[in-house]
Structure 1
Amino acid sequence: MSARPNPVVAGVKCRCPNCGKGPLFSGFLTVREHCETCGADLSAADSGDGPVVFILLIVGAIGCFGLLFTEVSFHPPIWVELLIW
């Protein structure tokens, strides 16, 4: 039996945590049900709402920064800011 892969390396490469070779995702944030290489069951690795919250926080931070930058730099009327943001 081969040694288990380093979990950090497998995670960064988005590979199976069991063998380190098969792809972990079948879509953007969808975890595969089984590894194509070793057949390990990956369905228990449900990410829930974690990735969605992470992406929303990034998009929200970019939007808030843009709104504040626009307000401080240009002082547009409120209807223009609502139209833009």
Structure 2
Amino acid sequence: MARVVVDVMLKPEILDPQGQAVQRALPRLGFQGISDVRQGKRFELEVDGPVDEAALARIHDLAESFLANTVIEDFTIRVEEVAEAAK
């Protein structure tokens, strides 16, 4: 079994009010030197069998059609190492 991670983030040109709220709160909480915060979503998919090009293509289709709103969001897909997936 392998883990595939899909990270979904608002496109840079899209306003991120949740990220802005976090960024404004950081100085009050004692965190200095952070100039921008963007909030996104992370999906961890446990995949039965090998993560080959066909499996990644299916996951890409899943991300594009269901996990992300591609009008306002971008996504990245990566395979985590087996040692990380075992944790």
TM range (shorter): under 0.3
Greater RCO, 1 or 2 (C-alpha within 8 Å, sep 6+): 2
More helix by share: 1
TM-score under structure 1 length normalisation: 0.24
Work out which of the two has the higher radius of gyration on C-alpha atoms and give 1 or 2.
1
More strand by share: 2
TM-score under structure 2 length normalisation: 0.24
